[in-house]
Structure 1
Amino acid sequence: MTILRAEVIGDPIAHSKSPLIHRFWLDALGIDGSYDACRVSADDLAGYFARCRDLPEWRGCNVTIPHKEAVLAHVEDRGDVRSSIGAMNTIFRDEDGTLVGTNTDAAGFYGPLSGSAWTGAHAAVVGAGGGARAVLFALSRMGFDRVTLLNRNVLKAGALLGHFGLKGDALPLDAPLPAADLLVNASPLGMQGQPPLDVDLDDLPDDAVVYDLVYAPIETPLLAQARARDLAAVDGLEMLIGQAAAAFAIFFGAEPPRDRDAELRELLTA
């Protein structure tokens, strides 16, 4: 019997919690499969996919920093992800051996925010990489009236706002935060081995939501600052688990047991 295999690729990759998530679901459902972390350098992306293409047991991979945009050049884009989000985080092997890319980040990001009305709201987003693209794609469909995008490269930030048809401003990283209803850190700042995100939350309204996509550590300095101000805080595990659930169904052909999310979070935070 063939053991189905999937993995997460990136560089670095040791921090990834994706193996814990997928293995938890595999065990819970009694599926004979595996999910591992694999460090793949930018120079080896083409070779990695060439090797996986001929392995029938390889069902696919998740993609993390810094490859979410680069993988577009190596796989088939049936859903026109290139023109929409412009980044992929999930690659799967079709029955004929074709490697196909998609993006489950946008849905994973949206999940924790789906219970609120955001029409006419103002969002501030930090970062302009693959994760930010998924966030901006989601925001463009959630009814936000304005988006302020902060990034080291202001020209790139401005181009991204235009790409997603969002009204707003592109500002440098050290610019003061606007009085936004939602603040999203879609950059690596605050991640283990990275400097913290240095922002002042004083101008955010009392009902603002602070959402940090970083999940290593789970309690980032940004989230600690938000909680100190009694602001609603969403950690990176929310998006990580949400996007992983969609990818798991693609890889292993079964819906993960989301009724056990509390148990999964305990495992991930132990």
Structure 2
Amino acid sequence: MQRERGPVRVSPARAAVVGHPIGHSRSPDLHRAAYAVLGEDIDYGAHDLVEEQLPAFVDARRGDPAWRGLSVTMPLKSAAAACADERTGLGEAVGVVNTLVFRPDGTLLGHNTDVAGIVGAVRAAGAVPGTPRVAVLGGGGTATAAVAAAGGLGAPAVDVFVRAPARAGRTVEAGCRLGVPVRLRAWDEAPGALPGYDVVVSTLPPHGADDLAERAAALAPATTGVLLDAAYDPWPSALARAWTRAGGAVAPGIDMLIFQAVDQIRLFTGRGPGEPLPREQDVIAALCTAVGRPVRVVPSPPRT
């Protein structure tokens, strides 16, 4: 029997991932595996939507007791933030949301679980000092989550390498709201500079850092840092190969997807962000297995 949390919920419940294109999404595999472990009767699907279609899709499900929430992927994260009646503090600070939670009163809560996904993937990949030097590649929507994650990892500031600084204004603003100062740096400086960072997060699309990887490989730098490349298809990316050859640890974007899904699953099962799940390690193991990844364990944050 499904456990009730507050107002009675309809069973089976419903949730889904939305975005465009959506056929490649691994979210259905992840969520279905988690709900099987938890014994939750939640039917999780996928809907191909463009930005103009999202508000009507959301409004049609407001107040429906069967609907728990939506996982939101590109290019809908900004539109999803506009659909939310309320955003969590983190969702408000980052400015984009990847999660919409349908509440019993018909309102929607917006949250960003990409931040937890980045933190979890980085910590599972390698050792991170208590106050790491963090660099981010790219200044788009995912970069704002990466800046928030840098703060979560203990970074006092973050360097963001961009080709077009004028397009990174939202990332700089997010850093101000989060108390994590952002310094924009020229893209051409990245090949020589990145090996000196403890954590590097690439938020670029597939092949977006191939030129950087080629130039970095020519310099043959050494590093002990952790690279998270948010692009996971094809894998390994040119940047991941170059980073591995230089001696660094690498996390693919699929690990970020795994750990951000854990926080969504909390919300879709009536819990709060960060609230432990029953059998949480078993849930994480099931998610890893569902997408063909080794079981990941996140160590406790280092003491400072």
TM-score over 0.5 for the alignment? Answer: yes
Cα distance change on mapping 1:146 and 1:249 into 2, 3 Å: closer
* Equivalent residue for 2:290, pick from 259, 267, 270: 267
Give the structure-2-normalised TM-score: 0.77
| Post-superposition CA distance 1:142-196 (Å, at most 9, x none) | 3324422123431232552354144453235454331322211112234xxxx55
Any gaps of 5 or more consecutive residues in structure 1?
A: none
More helix by share: 2
Aligned mates of 2:45, 2:175 — CA distance in 1: 34
Aligned mates of 1:262, 1:82 — CA distance in 2: 27
* Equivalent residue for 2:35, pick from 26, 29, 45: 26
Aligned mates of 2:92, 2:266 — CA distance in 1: 24
The more displaced of 109-118 and 13-22 is 109-118
* Equivalent residue for 2:161, pick from 147, 150, 153: 150
Counterpart in 1 of 2:183?
169
Counterpart in 1 of 2:266?
249
Are 1:212 and 1:236, in contact at CA under 8 Å, matched by a contact in 2? yes
> Cα RMSD (Å) of the superposition?
2.6
Aligned mates of 2:225, 2:90 — CA distance in 1: 30
Q: How does 1:35-184 map to 2 (within 5 A)?
A: 35-81=44-90, 83-114=92-123, 116-119=128-131, 121-157=132-168, 160-165=171-176, 166-167=180-181, 169-177=183-191, 178=193, 179-184=196-201
Cα distance change on mapping 1:205 and 1:147 into 2, 3 Å: farther
Deviation at 1:205, TM superposition (A): 4.4
What SS class does the counterpart of residue 164 from structure 1 fall into?
helix
Query: Number of matched residues?
Result: 265
Aligned mates of 1:63, 1:221 — CA distance in 2: 27
Aligned mates of 1:240, 1:159 — CA distance in 2: 23
Counterpart in 1 of 2:302?
none
The more displaced of 1-10 and 110-119 is 110-119
Q: Give the partner amino acid of 2:185.
A: L
Deviation at 1:140, TM superposition (A): 2.9
| Post-superposition CA distance 1:125-152 (Å, at most 9, x none) | 1122222111101213433244221234
What SS class does the counterpart of residue 198 from structure 1 fall into?
helix
Any gaps of 5 or more consecutive residues in structure 2?
A: 1-9, 272-276, 294-304
| Post-superposition CA distance 1:8-31 (Å, at most 9, x none) | 111111111110001111222332
Aligned mates of 2:57, 2:170 — CA distance in 1: 31
Give the structure-1-normalised TM-score: 0.86
Counterpart in 2 of 1:198?
211
Deviation at 1:44, TM superposition (A): 0.7
Deviation at 1:59, TM superposition (A): 0.8
